[in-house]
Chains A and B, each alone.
Chain A
Amino acid sequence: MADYFIALVDPSMPFIRNALLAGLLSSILFGLLGSIVTVKRIAGLAGAISHAVLGGIGMALYLSASGKVQNLPPILGALLFAIVSAIIIGFVSLKAKQREDTVINALWAIGMSLGVLFLAKTPGYADPTAYLFGNILLVTEKDLVLLALLDVLTLFLAWRYYPQLEASAFDEDFAKTRSIATDHIFIAILILTALAVVLLQTFVGIVMVIAMLTLPAGTAGFWAKSLASMMTGACILSLLFTFSGLASSWALDLPAGAMVVVIAGAVFLVFSAVSAVKRRGSRVRQ
């Protein structure tokens, strides 16, 4: 562990500090968006968006490497696929409620498959594992600026529209009777989630973004008394998981993204077990 702190202040290893900063900034997104995704029970939608992103990354890498489009960064392809899949999922959820799960799962599978196909045809070697499971050492200063901007936007929207957000997540039909634009809120959540997925996939990877959007919020949900306290608790937990994951991955020479998620998952399981035992105990006393 001490080695990690030494590396943090070592001027020759800025990527270690960038990784910690990325963890700090992504904790805000994981905490805020994760809580909303959890209480609205749309983790499946976020999962479909995050997996469809691989199609965009593969497409951008192929177009760039084959010379069809010069210097097309993978993040632009990811952004395109994330926004398009968010809009399709939003439209299907709101307008065509029948077969909603089929369309969502189809997007999930088609996005990933397109990514694999594009990567297979990309000249040279393109390792999909780096995108699926992330590599925090790839985080650049530009990524940090984008993450900070998305943090500010998400924090502002959550603060300004908190009562409407809470009402639409709690009881959407009632929220509509109070003239709250529940459909707009839903689409905004999906698009923010899509943007977050694009930025966060560098850190923990496509597969694990969905885990970090649900595990800290799910753990905070065991004691939270309000959506706001759930958001705050999830942000703090995300930060703790990230820091402990980074430090232990450095000490054990293991992939950082996977370590963060394993720690978050273990804590969630412990809290689930404690909660189940408590519930059982209170039923027996009754």
Chain B
Amino acid sequence: MTEPINATKETAFRFDKVSFSYAEDEILKNVSFHVHKGEFAALIGKNGSGKTTVLRLLLGLAQAQKGKITVFGKSPGEARSSIGYVPQNPVLDPAFPISVSRVVSMGRLKGMAKPSRINSIEGRDVLDRILELTELADLTHRPYSALSGGQKRRVLVARALAAEPLLLVLDEPTANMDAESEARLYATLKNLKGNTTVLIVTHDTGYVSSLTDAVFCAGAGDKGIVKHDVRPAKHTASELYGGEALEVLHDTRLDNEKCCKEAD
């Protein structure tokens, strides 16, 4: 596993003995794991393993029945403004009349307050920088509905980054993306690594990007989350992971608290 560039012993978020059920259907049971500030973490797992539930809990869109979740020392609801979120497949109206720049500027909104964060010179500078970073500067006036699937995904990443988040959460960001779009996305994420904590969720349980510092596997054991070790992959198409891929070693189980003990 690569050494975290800027990881400190401070945690970005922590799940402590969290359980969650939808009615009678238990999704997560006694889940504990954490990610440090500046780390690039991957949450992997098969469909239905509870990955999206972890994200909804992290974003404060769902409430855990048991256990405690902290994000930068606060409750998920209080920390929302620090999180940038890229949803998996949002159900968006394909005929919604909106331009790329308007979609990206939604990331600057904060509650029901007047959106001075968008209209100020500083706000416009941030949006311009994000559009450059995500290579969308030429598409700002295009209708969102006219974009390809890969371009739309990049717009949603830009929208999340427009919030200048401390934690960026991406749910299956490369699903249905072509190789070129995927490479562009990972190039963007590489630029963020170290400064922004990144949690990327994927159903690819075999390999993760070489940017990854920590791999967590949902659905492992009894509806829990397990931290796995990785090693450089030898026979994988690197363009699918934005560079060299890492193979996830499912037969390993790393001590989730070891990093904190070492830091002490």
Contact = CB atoms under 8 A, between A and B. Distances in A.
A101 interface: no
A221 B60 CA distance: 34
Contacts of A181: 111-112
Contact of B106 (A161, A167, A221): A167
B87 to A, nearest CB: 6
B97 A230 contact: yes
Contacts of B24: none
Contacts of A180: 109, 111-112
Given A167-B106, A178-B80, A225-B143, A173 B90 contact: yes
- Most chain B CB atoms below 10 A, which of A169, A181, A226: A226
A3 interface: no
Nearest to A226: B97
Nearest to B165: A177
Contact of A41 (B93, B99, B107): B93
Contacts, number: 79
B81 A178 contact: yes
Nearest to B86: A174
A180 B60 CA distance: 13
- Most chain A CB atoms below 10 A, which of B97, B109, B110, B143: B97
Contacts of A225: 97, 99, 143
Interface residues of B, number: 31
Interface string B100-116: 00110111011110110
Given A169-B96, A170-B92, A178-B80, A163 B111 contact: no
Interface string B55-70: 0000111000000000
A63 B60 CA distance: 49
Contacts of A178: 80-81, 106-107, 109-111, 163
A161 B80 contact: no
A194 B180 CA distance: 49
Interface in A153-208: 160-161, 163-164, 166-167, 169-171, 173-181
A176 B59 CA distance: 9
Interface in A219-236: 221, 224-227, 229-230
A206 B186 CA distance: 54
Contact of A221 (B92, B95, B102, B159): B95
B98 A226 contact: yes
A166 B96 CA distance: 10
A120 interface: no
B159 A174 contact: yes
A163 B99 contact: no
A271 B98 CA distance: 20
A75 interface: no
B31 to A, nearest CB: 21
A179 B59 CA distance: 10
A180 B110 CA distance: 7
B208 interface: no
Given A174-B90, A177-B59, A177-B80, A226 B99 contact: yes
Interface string B185-206: 0000000000000000000000
Contacts of B118: 163
Nearest to B109: A178
A221 B97 contact: yes
- Most chain B CB atoms below 10 A, which of A173, A174, A177: A177
A166 B102 contact: yes
Contact of B102 (A39, A177, A224, A226): A226
A178 B82 CA distance: 9
A78 to B, nearest CB: 30
Contacts of A41: 93
A171 B92 contact: yes
Contacts of B106: 163, 166-167, 170-171, 174-175, 178
A232 to B, nearest CB: 11
A175 B80 CA distance: 11
Interface string B125-139: 000000000000000
Interface string A102-138: 0000000000000000000000000000000000000
Interface of B: 59-61, 80-81, 83, 85, 87, 90, 92-93, 95-99, 102-103, 105-107, 109-112, 114-115, 118, 143, 159, 163
17 contacts: A167-B106, A170-B106, A171-B87, A171-B90, A174-B106, A175-B106, A175-B109, A178-B81, A178-B106, A178-B109, A179-B80, A179-B81, A226-B97, A226-B99, A227-B96, A227-B98, A229-B97
Given A171-B92, A173-B87, A179-B111, 17 more contacts: A164-B112, A167-B106, A170-B96, A170-B98, A171-B106, A173-B90, A177-B59, A177-B61, A177-B80, A178-B80, A178-B107, A180-B111, A221-B97, A224-B97, A225-B143, A226-B98, A229-B97
